[in-house]
Amino acid sequence: MGTLDGIITLVTGAAQGIGKATAVRLATDGARVAVNARVDDERLAVAVAAAGPGAVAAPCDIVDWDASRAMVGRVQDELGPIEVLVANAARMTMKPFLEQEPEEWWQQIDVNLTGHLGVVSAVLPGMRKLGHGRIVIVSSYWGVIGWENATGYGCTKSGLIALTRALGRELAPEGIYVSSVAPGVIDTPQLEVDARDAGLPLKDMHAIYAKGIPAGRIGRADEVAATISFLAGKTAPAYVGQTLHPNGGEIRCSM
């Protein structure tokens, strides 16, 4: 018996990286997982297969709120009411502030922040009917400390922490517990964006980041996934509106 045995979960942005690792971890812990990605392609199929026989594909561009509602409806018809939402989908571009085009700014806002408002809006009525639920929002430590050349991304991730706090206070009395994680540097395909911005090979980017981490290495996606599974479980009421920081000790703060 897993710690999430039989619980219906939806993970956004789960075709790779932290999202994929989370889908696999939740399934390992007993959940039935709907795996979301923007495009219904081979990567999504591979992620669904990795999450096991009980997983289903839930393709949808979460920027489109109507599409999100339709996607949630399909998941509920196929698996049942969604009890856990992991809001993970993200977009990042890295450029100096004055070189970032307005379209790039808004693309990050639309996916990382506003898009997840739509997904939360879509799952919340079902959670209210059940009388319980879990929402785990994936922020970033760049949303806590900021980062050069990542203004738009950092702003959206900071906004997600504020969203966690506000929804945590609003929804906890209904038995719906909201929390977030703010991972540090994690070994995912997203680091390729960092490497390109720095003009370095990916392995050199890894080494540079590792130097600033007390644990001596960058993190792994499965470590973040374990934290998310923890927040999705029975301990959730103890972490209402709070943000956990799996970052190897690089920053230690209460935000």
Whether 253 has a pLDDT exceeding 80, the answer reads no
Residue 238 makes CB contacts below 8 A (sequence gap 6+) with: none
Quote the pLDDT of residue 219: 85
Summarize pLDDT for 92-145 with one digit per residue, the tens: 888 899 998 999 999 999 999 999 999 999 999 999 999 999 999 999 998 898
Summarize pLDDT for 18-28 with one digit per residue, the tens: 999 999 999 99
Quote the pLDDT of residue 224: 96
Cα–Cα distance, 60 to 116 (Å, whole number): 12
Helix (H) or strand (E) holding 138: strand 133-138
Residue 171 CA to its chain's centroid (Å): 19
Question: Quick one: which of 58, 65, 158, 148 has its CA closest to 108?
Answer: 158
- Identify the bridge partners of residue 244 per DSSP, sorted by sequence position: 181
Q: CA torsion 131→59→143→104, rounded to 10°?
A: -140
Give the CATH number of domain 8-185+221-244; options: 3.30.420.40, 3.40.50.720, 1.10.150.20, 3.30.2350.10. Answer: 3.40.50.720
pTM: 0.92
Q: Which of 66-75, 192-201, 214-223 has the lowest mean pLDDT?
A: 192-201
Percentage of the residues of the chain whose pLDDT score is greater than 70 = 98
The conformation of residue 12, written as its DSSP 8-state character, comes to S
Q: What are the residue numbers of the active site?
A: 153
Is residue 36 within 8 Å of 89, Cβ to Cβ? yes
Summarize pLDDT for 54-65 with one digit per residue, the tens: 999 999 999 999
